[in-house]
Amino acid sequence: MYRYDEFDHQVVRERVAEFSDQVARRLSGDLSEEQFRPLRLMNGVYLQLHAYMLRVAVPYGELTSGKMRRLAHIARVYDRGYGHFTTRQNIQFNWPKLSDIPAILRELAEVEMHAIQTSGNCIRNVTTDAFAGVAADEIEDPRPWAEVLRQWSTFHPEFTYLPRKFKIAISGGAQDRAATFFHDIGIRLVRAESGDVGFQIIVGGGMGRTPRVGRVLNGFVAKSEILSYLEAILRVYNLHGRRDNKYKARIKILVDALTLEGFRAEVDAEWDRIRGSVVEVPAEEVERIGAYFADPDWQALADNPPELAAARSRSAAFNGWVSANVMAHRVPGYAAVTVSLKPVGGIPGDATADQMDALADFADRYSLGALRVSKEQNIVLPFVRQDQLYALWQALVAEGLATANKGLISDIIACPGLDYCALANARSIPLAQMISERFSDIARQHDIGEVTLNISGCINACGHHHVGNIGILGVDKRGEESYQLVLGGDATQTAAIGDIAGPGFTAEGVVDAIETVIGVYLAQRQTGEPFIDTYRRIGLTPFKEAINAAR
């Protein structure tokens, strides 16, 4: 993975000094809360219902064992012994004291981490596929470009006070595992007919109260012209994006207003002037960064070693875990393991300090010291030898980290909801817990198969309910918590926004309705057909009818 050189260290050190000074000025009263707000928001410090929250960047989700140990240490010393991994591959600490934050940032800087641009109306931490460099369907590894974008966007002088936050995701897979159609800018590595690899640029995707599937702004941008293209988009947005209403300030609204063609004309006019100019990243810098992502020294191994097959037939629990949580690696004999942070009845995405330390140890022992945070709020160990999967699984079992539910109905994405968030209409976490308990039978989950379930406590959609195959939205019904059920969303390259299947459920009611939905699916599915495909084939009506009949 990327390592800081002296320059990167210097930038982060100077940022720690600046933010420490801003905190001191706030504590002394030199800065009002109103003036401090945008400054702290530039550094991931939010004010939640009960306390400040600190969001720490995990650039494109990559961690080392050393970084994970430091996160565990921070959770233990400055927080209440746990952290929360987010859908944007970051980690949040819910209970730090403002006066401790400078010390936390110093500790992070020592391990090449920071909280820069994890909030605020700036270019946020760039996200990517948690299986980057691992997946067999990849055109090219997106991580070097994610690092190029990290550096380019860090303290970009022109784009630090945009109309609204700005999120970029980049993906290299034929399968889109980074939700590029639901970001302000989505970037997909594509191969042109000429054989050249470049970028498809998708713009204006998003969730919130105006969900939008992103639209293709440019089918192929050359690598040597990518930064000028992004600058042209950002400049048009910065000048013309709405600033009078924060709910209409995202780039998706500007693209709607100008139409895709109109927006493209503006971008192209600016791009023509600056394309391929000094703003581009030099080729040797791309090469320098790329070298950090070179393959480790793989051993010559075969797929499906006898140890693995034997252990799978010996232990049904292990076998179930392998089929759900272990992904084939492009290198024979290796695998990428998803460690689920969704135990039955747990809080999705939470990990204790002890679990983080254990994960760091497992990464050292089994995964060349490497870990990833996935947008599904799980941890990925990307480089595990197949003949060591059983040993790893046993170690995970001992830590309560071997839940075999990756991609299954209890692998729930949920926002913090009413337990933490001032904007919430309803609780998300207790509902996620209820659903995972209702479907706790792992054999049944495996039978139901692949399905995504997302919960948001309000229309801001932090839990991505619009793109869950099954989505749940908390609404306020005359002061009562109430839930709406949405079906058919899809965050991948077959992107879709879900359809409303029914309003006005109580928490128990919505869990029953999910039961009904799953019942319809099981009755209607064809062999090997996952939930989303059945839904697309038969449509919303049979589900809606069954839900209404069961009410």
Partner 1 sequence: MPLVKLTAAGIEPVETVWTRLGGEDAVPATGAVLVPLARWQAEKDSLLARADAVGVWLAAGETADSISGDLDRLTVVALDFPAFSDGRAYSTARLLRDRFGYRGELRAIGDVLLDQLIQMVRTGFDALDVKAPVSGAAVTVETIQAALSRYSLVYQVAHDPRPPVSALRRRLAAGGQA
Which spans of this chain sit near partner 1 (rule: CB under 8 A)?
5, 7-8, 10-11, 14, 17-18, 22, 25, 28-32, 35, 38-39, 121, 151-152, 154-162, 227, 235, 238-239, 243, 273-274, 278-279, 281-282, 284-285, 288
Encoded tokens for 101: 């934050």
Q: Residue 48: which of partner 1, ligand SF4, ligand HEM, none does it interact with, CB under 5 to 8 A by kind?
A: ligand HEM
Q: What is the distance in angstroms between the CA of the first residue and the CA of the last residue of the chain?
A: 52
Residue 180's φ and ψ, nearest 5 degrees, are -65, -20
> Under the phi-then-psi rule, with left for phi > 0, alpha for psi from -120 to 50, and beta for the rest, what region is 244?
alpha
Span interacting with ligand HEM, options 85-93, 142-150, 302-310, 530-538, rule CB under 6 A = 85-93
Encoded tokens for 16: 């720690």
- 8 A C-beta contact, residue 8 and residue 80: no
Encoded tokens for 57: 């960047």
What's the min distance (Å) between Cβ of 166 and partner 1? 11
- Contact with ligand HEM (CB under 6 A) among 460, 475, 522, 538: 460
- Contact with ligand SF4 (CB under 6 A) among 458, 472, 487, 496: 458
What's the min distance (Å) between Cβ of 93 and ligand HEM? 11
Dihedral (CA of 141, 144, 145, 146) sign = positive
Q: Give the residue with the Cβ less far from ligand HEM, 127 or 534.
A: 127
Q: Give the residue with the Cβ less far from ligand SF4, 105 or 497.
A: 497
What's the min distance (Å) between Cβ of 212 and ligand SF4? 17
CA dist., res. 288 & res. 8, Å (int): 14
Encoded tokens for 380: 């990925």
Q: Give the residue with the Cβ less far from ligand HEM, 88 or 544.
A: 88
Which residues 400-429 are close enough to bind ligand HEM by CB under 6 A?
415-416, 420-423
Rule CB under 6 A: say whether 461 interacts with ligand SF4: yes
Q: Give the residue with the Cβ less far from ligand HEM, 124 or 525.
A: 124
Q: Give the residue with the Cβ less far from ligand HEM, 209 or 537.
A: 209
CB atoms within 10 A of CB 348: 29
Which stretches of 141-184 are assigned E, i.e. beta strand? Answer: 168-171
- 8 A C-beta contact, residue 137 and residue 174: yes
CA dist., res. 244 & res. 236, Å (int): 17
Which parts of 214-305 fold into alpha helices (H)? 226-240, 251-274, 283-291
Q: Residue 352: which of ligand HEM, partner 1, ligand SF4, none does it interact with, CB under 5 to 8 A by kind?
A: none
Residue 128's φ and ψ, nearest 5 degrees, are -150, -175
Rule CB under 6 A: say whether 341 interacts with ligand HEM: no
CB atoms within 10 A of CB 93: 25
What's the min distance (Å) between Cβ of 470 and ligand HEM? 18
Which residues 386-415 are close enough to bind ligand SF4 by CB under 6 A?
415
Rule CB under 6 A: say whether 423 interacts with ligand SF4: yes
Span interacting with ligand SF4, options 140-148, 255-263, 314-322, 454-462, rule CB under 6 A = 454-462
Rule CB under 6 A: say whether 135 interacts with ligand HEM: no
- Contact with ligand SF4 (CB under 6 A) among 83, 163, 204, 416: 416
Q: Give the residue with the Cβ less far from ligand SF4, 371 or 458.
A: 458
Which parts of 85-142 fold into alpha helices (H)? 101-110
Is residue 546 within a helix (H) or strand (E), and if so which, with residue range? helix 541-550
What is the 8-class DSSP label of residue 528?
T
Please give the residue ranges that form the binding site for ligand SF4 (CB under 6 A).
Answer: 415-417, 421, 423-424, 428, 456-458, 460-463
